[in-house]
Chain A
Amino acid sequence: MIKITKKSKKRIIRISIFFFAISSFSALLIYAFSKNMVYFYTPSQVIEKEAPLEKFIRVGGMVKKGSVLRSNNNLKISFKIYDLEQQINVMYEGILPDLFAEGQGVVMTGRLINSNTFIADEVLAKHDENYMPPEVADMMKDANGELYKK
């Protein structure tokens, strides 16, 4: 029943050209906008001054172990976030999500006051793609030291 006749061949070619035109158009569009489609900046990008100062932006990274300092009489908190190369300081006042912990990922909105200090207005926890039962996580921790709970 499905035969490639002259008529259907013509249609296939037409649809393919149409589809490739549209997809290359959108590929170029996405490529052109990809800098603006960055949902958050990493600490390395902040240190390298790729992120604008005093503008409303997002910064994401991992919370450094042992860097979280909480105030005793208000909700002020400061910590460091890092990626593979760099780290920056963060100051925040407010309620943190349940999954906020040292060694876990965060994505924050706020502004940079200088190239290594970020004032956060909102802190969101970024979850990673790993799922395991607690016993397995403990075993991984024993075997690999600081792999899962930094």
Chain B
Amino acid sequence: MNISKIANLKFFYTKTQRISIYLSFSTFVLFCIGIYWGLFIAPEDYLQGNSYRIMYVHVPAAWLSLQTYMIMAVTAFIALVWKIKIMEIISIQCAPIGAFFTIIALVTGMIWGKPTWGTYWVWDARLTSELILLFLYIGVIVLYSSFVDKRQAIKITSLLSIIGLINIPIIHYSVEWWNTLHQGPTVTKFDKPSAHITMLLPLLYMFIVFNLYFLAVMIQRIRLGIYIREKNSKWMEDLSND
């Protein structure tokens, strides 16, 4: 299958209907398994007891919030340079998904922070930069919707996405560059991970499940984006008449 075929809006729209349903359903099943694994099978922590278990949602959500941003910025760059329609759609549709992951990461972090640190929120570098990420996502959504001319809108929002990319290494390295209340990385470091294997495996599993969730929602949203853009075109009318 070559790229130009997938990039063709009609081809993508007609081929992905089934896939997205299967993917959504299997993601839901795999998510339930992961939650059971994290909440019931994984052992207690020697220090935190059961409260650490929120990391099975918090950590993958935080990773995905960064990953989604990177996808948004890269597709924005491609859309800006080569004017590929589907890349424009992907880039814009990344924003609400990324905002969702960021909110999940922030809220679960706050819930965990209260019993562990003794406070819901502190203005340290990690928490603040993650909050800025949420504002960037919201900025992209608001900026895009504030233009009537969508060709103009995509240019400006793409630039905003690309500028915001600077925040990604800041979020990741904030815990190493500055003294923060947030602890350092457990998994993504050059040494071996600082979590026991029985706790690490469900975490990595949840990361994969969150990626599948991202993919499932992304496909749905791309389809939505294509529909909005092409609803007056002939092939879409033919499709809905069938």
Contact = CB atoms under 8 A, between A and B. Distances in A.
B171 to A, nearest CB: 13
Given A99-B47, A125-B118, A132-B46, A42 B7 contact: no
Nearest to A98: B115
B117 A126 contact: yes
A31 B193 CA distance: 30
Interface stretch (A16-24, A74-82, A111-119): A16-24
A10 to B, nearest CB: 9
A90 interface: no
Chain B, interface size: which category?
Answer: 35 or more
A65 to B, nearest CB: 15
B199 A26 contact: no
A107 B181 contact: yes
A38 B122 contact: no
Contacts of B3: 1-2
A131 B196 contact: yes
A137 interface: yes
Given A125-B116, A133-B198, A37 B125 contact: yes
A8 to B, nearest CB: 5
Contacts of B183: 126-129
A42 B123 CA distance: 18
A123 interface: yes
Is the contact region of chain A dominated by helix, strand, or loop, or is it mixed? mixed
Chain A, interface size: which category?
Answer: 35 or more
A15 B194 contact: no
B199 A131 contact: yes
Interface in B1-37: 3-4, 7
B118 A97 contact: yes
Given A26-B166, A124-B118, A131-B195, A137 B84 contact: no
Contacts of A96: 118
> Taking each of A23, A107, A122, which has the highest tally of chain B beta carbons within 10 Å of its own beta carbon?
A107
Contact of A127 (B84, B117, B166): B117
B45 A131 contact: yes
Contacts of B118: 96-98, 122-125
A124 B122 CA distance: 10
A15 B196 contact: no
Given A15-B80, A23-B166, A26-B166, A133 B122 contact: no
A12 B179 contact: no
Interface string B113-139: 001111100111100000000000000
Interface of B: 3-4, 7, 43-48, 52, 55, 77-78, 80-82, 84, 115-119, 122-125, 159, 162-163, 165-166, 170, 177-181, 183-186, 194-196, 198-199
